[in-house]
A and B are shown apart, each in its own frame.
Chain A
Amino acid sequence: MKITEKEVRYVADLANLRITDAEVAKFRADLDGILGHIDKLNELDVSGVEPMAQVLFETADGATLRPDVAAPPLDNQAALANAPQSGAGYFKVPKIIER
């Protein structure tokens, strides 16, 4: 077994994701199969290989930088328009600190 239900619960907790007992069991079985397949990567000798984090190609220095010119950002009202709860120009969330 590659992964236990306890590990699935732990990882879901790290991801701030509430999952049901049925989902824990299902994901454990699914991930077991997927991680089993992923073990294939251990067949390869990757010593001396530089990790590839991004697709890179030849380009002039600074080609990806925009000119440093101020531009108007999204205005406060537009930024808040999709908030489930907002007020006084802010996003509102449940109380964090109890007095």
Chain B
Amino acid sequence: MDIASLTIDRVREGVLAREFSAVELAAEALRFAESENPKTNAYLRLSPERAMAAARRVDERVARGEDPGPLAGVPVAVKDVILTKGVVSTCGSRLLASYNPPYDATAVERLEAAGGVIIGKTNCDEFAMGSSTENSAFGPVRNPLALDRVPGGSSGGSAAVVAQGTAVAALGSDTGGSIRQPASFCGVVGVTPTYGRVSRYGLTAFASSLDHIGPFARSVKDAATLLGAIAGRDVRDATSAAAPVPDYAGGLNGGVKGLKLGLPREYLKDLTSESGDLIAKGVDALRRQGCEVREISLPHTEYAVACYYIIATAEASSNLARYDGVRYTFRSGESHTLADMYRNTRGEGFGAECKRRIVLGTYVLSAGYYDAYYLRAQKVRALVARDFARAFEEVDAIVAPVSPFPAFKLGEKVDDPLAMYLSDIYTITGSLAGIPCMSVPCGLTAGGLPVGMQILTSHFGETTMFRVAYALEQTNRG
């Protein structure tokens, strides 16, 4: 069985027709993941017990003649910031190296209820803070398409396992681009749904007003199917949206004829020419399929990175306060007073990027700076969101690059945090607005590195977003 070429529908058909059992497929996926992982370090651990139990449940349902669910038997990997009961979930942090969650994230519960088989947890930047997966306490992930390059981040492990073919799909999390950018770097599909579309219950909080869970897959249809399985209202997450979940996968064939696409001029000026050429070719392909493409302006784009790194670090400094040596596994051994225990635990437990963001976040919230930084950033966030709202009065979807450049080399940007932050420019804007956005493969550079096109729509406009992505995917395959 070639896991790397399977799709969700193909797995479900095979399991339903008893061509292979979910148990056989899970065993093969686990074996393949174990043999491939030394190349990339994309999995932090495999979860064979949990996988085999889930696979057995699928086979039993099939044997009883019941519907085993849309993800029946599908081997899926889950980013380590998403909690899995009984399977250690480290968030890429030394602090949580042995943390065994007492409950499942809602997305994990729903994935398994739909027949999905979780085969392992994927590596990521510590607490999802980074753009290259070099900030993991457990070593960096290598891009399976170019082993000397990063897979992007922070969900680099999830993107890498899907690209490598050791999982059919994966869950990641996105706060400022952490699904879309690694999807682009690894040549897979990655979706950041509307804020609130997928419950964050059980997602370790980084920046609560920006955090999302979303799918990675090798095709637009698989990503749509996976999102449909995990989306929807959850009483355990008050920010989850009550809006009904449409049949995303069923709406793909609607075509794009007559759709109005906006190409934001602010997103095209700093692109490397190779990435820019590939995006332009993708836009032409969509135009040939009947889309009307017009240039639009999102005037506050250049302020988005500054705005984001105030809001995200402020929220992170608060969310990470809970790692104090009392509840979550790691405690520094050298402290005699409570205050020292807090300080030493956090000083020894957090890696450099988390510390940098805690210091920055605390600074922008501290007395005398709150109005100048945090409050101003919240106002600029409103302006960025207003840019999009105005654009969507004119166009049905926005097409744009995901990253200014393709995957860079390991170590290339680690010493310059500002340069790393600035590379998130095209993904941060959509995150601030809370709109759905995704990366879909748009071709390879001459050096063989994938480039993703970003598609953005208005709140709850996933159906239109997927339809545009599907049209682009079909032309790339044709």
A contact residues vs B (CB 8 Å cutoff): 3, 7-8, 11-12, 14-20, 23, 26-27, 30-31, 33-34, 37-44, 46, 49-55, 57, 59-60, 63-67, 74, 78-79, 81-85, 91, 93-96
Contact = CB atoms under 8 A, between A and B. Distances in A.
Contacts of B340: 94
Interface residues of B, number: 75
A84 B329 contact: yes
B147 interface: no
Contact of B380 (A17, A26, A41, A59): A41
B328 A17 contact: no
A51 B242 CA distance: 24
Contacts of A20: 347
Interface string B181-224: 00000000000000110000000000001000000000000000
Nearest to B306: A38
B418 A41 contact: no
Interface in B324-360: 324-331, 335-344, 346-348, 350, 352, 355-356, 358-360
B50 interface: no
A34 B378 CA distance: 18
A15 B362 contact: yes
Contacts of A79: 102
Contacts of A54: 209, 239
Nearest to B383: A49
A27 B359 contact: yes
For chain A, what secondary structure do more than half of its interface residues adopt (helix, strand, loop), or is it mixed? loop
B356 A3 contact: no
A14 B362 contact: yes
A60 B302 contact: no
Interface of B: 99-100, 102-103, 195-196, 209, 235-236, 238-243, 300, 302-303, 305-307, 309-310, 317, 321, 324-331, 335-344, 346-348, 350, 352, 355-356, 358-360, 362-363, 366, 373, 375-383, 385, 417-418, 421-422, 433-434, 459-460
Contacts of B240: 64
A14 B361 CA distance: 11
Given A12-B359, A41-B380, A55-B434, 11 more contacts: A11-B363, A12-B358, A38-B373, A41-B377, A46-B376, A46-B383, A64-B242, A78-B102, A82-B100, A83-B327, A94-B336
A31 B357 CA distance: 9
Nearest to B363: A11
Contact of A49 (B209, B306, B382): B382
Contact of A94 (B341, B350, B377, B434): B341
A91 B236 CA distance: 25
> A-B pairs with the 7 shortest C-beta distances?
A55-B434, A18-B347, A51-B378, A66-B235, A84-B331, A52-B382, A46-B379
B346 A51 contact: no
B306 A37 contact: yes
